[in-house]
Amino acid sequence: MDRFSPAALALSIVQAPLAGGPSTPALAAAVSEAGGLGSLAAGYKTADAVAADIEAVRTVTAAPFGVNVFVPGPAPADAETVARYAETLQHEAGPLGEPRSDDDDWDAKLALLHAARPAVASFTFGCPSAERIAALQDDGIAVWVTVTTPIEARTAAAAGADALVIQGAEAGGHRGSFDDATPGTIGLLALLQLVAAETELPLIATGGIMSGAGIAAVLAAGASAAQLGSAFMLTPEAGTSAPHRAKLASEGETALTRAFSGRTARGIVNRFQRQHDADAPSAYPEVHHLTAPLRAAARTRGDAEAINLWAGQAHRLAQARPAGELVRALAADARAALRAAADRAG
Amino acid sequence: MDRFSPAALALSIVQAPLAGGPSTPALAAAVSEAGGLGSLAAGYKTADAVAADIEAVRTVTAAPFGVNVFVPGPAPADAETVARYAETLQHEAGPLGEPRSDDDDWDAKLALLHAARPAVASFTFGCPSAERIAALQDDGIAVWVTVTTPIEARTAAAAGADALVIQGAEAGGHRGSFDDATPGTIGLLALLQLVAAETELPLIATGGIMSGAGIAAVLAAGASAAQLGSAFMLTPEAGTSAPHRAKLASEGETALTRAFSGRTARGIVNRFQRQHDADAPSAYPEVHHLTAPLRAAARTRGDAEAINLWAGQAHRLAQARPAGELVRALAADARAALRAAADRAG
């Protein structure tokens, strides 16, 4: 059976998984139904919840979609390091969580992928073993691996990935880096050129892409598709919280930080990020669990200064319109931009 | 008289100024003669030396070219801060320089621009006043201003710039930021989209562009031309030092640092950068003058671990071939990439 290829998309647009709230079955279904590739985020959820999300998408559309899974890290973080960080958070409003280590239900999620067989299984925070990749492929699932450096791209290609999601430093949310100690911070266009020079695999470009012009750019650079995250976060289908929505549409500057989760991620700089960034250790998912109740409380009271405002560097260009309409408009703009540039170039 | 527009270029490629060694009249002339826009770097040189460079270009080609000038900062750095940094450099091999403040011969260079009238005067580290820009334009000189944030772009547009050089965080060498206290670190594609949403001015995109695919990308995103720096640093016409050349062609990772000059710049990480980055203050040009003799000595003895290895994030793709041939090949590759992407998009 032929596995899904990004070249088969009617519109070369992939919706980024957007774990942690914005991801919904309605968003993934709308994007896929419009001719792009919607994605479900398995991250932070139980395998059962993800199974329900997959079912929800399939009640709306028969179009292909992807499911994104976090690859667990090699070892728990140092408990003392995490405890020291917890001390610095004592004055925050709201309860702290238990800083536990877990594998985000890895085995159950892999079993779910085999059972549910989405068109694409994409992975973040690492590269599954060649054996696991081959097993998924044997079930007809295309395996995409998120990479942030040429070295990670080589690892994923060697492990047999069907395609690489090239995540530029512009991207909002977590860096997909295999090792948080050395998060890749290469700009999208530089990374695309570097990886394209080494592999024939299809590349899906992500990081800061918000417009038809941005999509046209990565397609011209040779990417098979553009993956957009922040661009979808103001759509009515997204589960983005109200305070997060308000900040996305503003001019707020973004920065990389480990303050919220213990893993490097890009968010709009707010009070919490400014205050805790310097103290935050590399300790994922311990710090994620530690701050989760704090952030949930802040979200409930509408306090944008104490939640993780994940956003790519060009978030201000996000549009509040239905996801399907957005995908179609962006694709039309991208086509027009490519045609115009090709004509100018002669 | 009509001022020069990037749309008038036969090939939409601008050679970045490359102050501090790589810039030569032979390089600028070769690029302009091939149909791109060569640039001379006035930075660090006397106005007389720049005048000689301009003459040298004009003996080779009648084609338009640009001259890039550093805009002086508002005030000298704190002497004690600089002295403290100097202390940390005592164990470096070679003499330290006098950490003086200067304006890089600003008035004389402006007078030279008016006298020599290059097609383009581009500015870095700030935006000249509206009056100075208008005066240059009155002499038929197109004024380009380097920007690293949407706010800087607004300032330059309001001051009357003819075009904006959009410098992404991928770029090698100094960030062109107006204020080194807040260096813009937005990726090229994100910054291009953000600025294009606000202005109709022609945009010249720079930062990590090394290939025809990279050029095609920024043209598709709406840029009028692509400016390349590292891509030219291995050409025989460039004045790049031998140890710097050896590192450019390797896989060395880059990072932003103030260690060499007191101003944020991207270089391939070496021993000096690793050792002194954390101590380096924002103090330009004082730290530049402080470390200049050290770096000159290291260059002479071929020690790549003690010199500023300015390079963009995709430097490994630099090609050692004549500049004119390189420009023609890159432009042909860019055209082909645009045509192919437009055809695929339908």
The domains found in chain A, sorted by start residue, are: 6-345 (3.20.20.70)
> What's the mean pLDDT in B243-272?
97
Nearest Cβ partner for B220 among A207, A312, A341? A341
Per-residue DSSP letter, B149: S
Please name the residue of chain A whose CA is at the shortest distance from the CA of residue B170.
A187
Distance, in angstroms, between A341 CA and closest chain B CA? Answer: 5
8 Å CB contact of B188 and A187: yes
8 Å CB contact of B314 and A216: no
8 Å CB contact of A345 and B12: yes
Task: Flag whether pLDDT at B1 surpasses 70.
Answer: no
8 Å CB contact of B341 and A194: no
pLDDT of chain A, 346 residues: tens digit per residue? 689 999 999 999 999 999 999 999 999 999 999 999 999 999 999 999 999 999 999 999 999 999 999 999 988 999 999 999 999 999 998 899 999 999 999 999 999 999 999 999 999 999 999 999 999 999 999 999 999 999 999 999 999 999 999 999 999 999 999 999 998 899 999 999 999 999 999 999 999 999 999 999 999 999 999 999 999 999 999 999 999 999 998 999 999 999 999 999 999 999 999 999 999 999 999 999 999 999 999 999 999 999 999 999 999 999 999 999 999 999 999 999 999 999 999 8
Task: Give the residue among B27, B112, B42, B32 at the shortest CA–CA distance from B64.
Answer: B32
8 Å CB contact of B220 and A191: no
pLDDT confidence of residue B27 = 98
B129 half-sphere exposure, CB direction, 13 A CA radius: 4
**In the sheet where A120-124 sits, what is the strand order?**
A13-15, A225-228, A203-206, A163-167, A142-147, A120-124, A65-70, A38-41
Mutation target vs B (from A338, A343, A344; most B CBs, 10 A cutoff): A338
Please name the residue of chain B whose CA is at the shortest distance from the CA of residue A207.
B190
Q: Both ends of chain A: CA-CA distance in Å?
A: 41
Nearest Cβ partner for A221 among B194, B217, B222? B217
8 Å CB contact of A312 and B190: yes
Q: Is the dihedral of CA A115, A119, A123, A124 positive or negative?
A: negative
Radius of gyration from C-alpha coordinates of chain B:
19
8 Å CB contact of B313 and A186: yes
Task: Flag whether pLDDT at B225 surpasses 80.
Answer: yes
Task: Flag whether pLDDT at B286 surpasses 80.
Answer: yes
Task: Give the residue among A310, A303, A221 at the shortest CA–CA distance from A21.
Answer: A310
How far, in Å, CA of B173 to CA of B112, rounded? 25
Tokens representing residue A148 in the block: 């942030």
* Tens-digit pLDDT profile for residues B176-213: 999 999 988 999 999 999 999 999 999 999 999 999 99
Longest dimension (CA), chain A: 62
Distance, in angstroms, between A126 CA and closest chain B CA? Answer: 20
How far, in Å, CA of A235 to CA of B297, rounded? 58
Task: Flag whether pLDDT at B332 surpasses 70.
Answer: yes
How far, in Å, CA of A135 to CA of A137, rounded? 5
pLDDT confidence of residue A184 = 87
Residue that has been written with the tokens 């302009």 in this structure: B32
Would you tell me the crossing angle of helices A323-345 and A25-34 to the nearest 10 degrees? Answer: 40
pLDDT confidence of residue A346 = 84
Task: Give the residue among B337, B335, B241, B270 at the shortest CA–CA distance from B18.
Answer: B241
8 Å CB contact of B189 and A209: yes
Q: What percent of chain B lies above the pLDDT cut of 90? A: 97
- B66 phi, psi to nearest 5 deg: -115, 160
Task: Flag whether pLDDT at B346 surpasses 90.
Answer: no
pLDDT confidence of residue A206 = 98
Average model confidence (pLDDT) for chain B? 97
* Residue B142 three-state SS: strand
pLDDT confidence of residue A1 = 61
Please name the residue of chain B whose CA is at the shortest distance from the CA of residue A336.
B342
Q: Chain B partners of A217 at a C-beta cutoff of 8 Å?
A: 189, 192, 217-218, 220-221
- ipTM value, please give it: 0.97
Please name the residue of chain B whose CA is at the shortest distance from the CA of residue A10.
B345
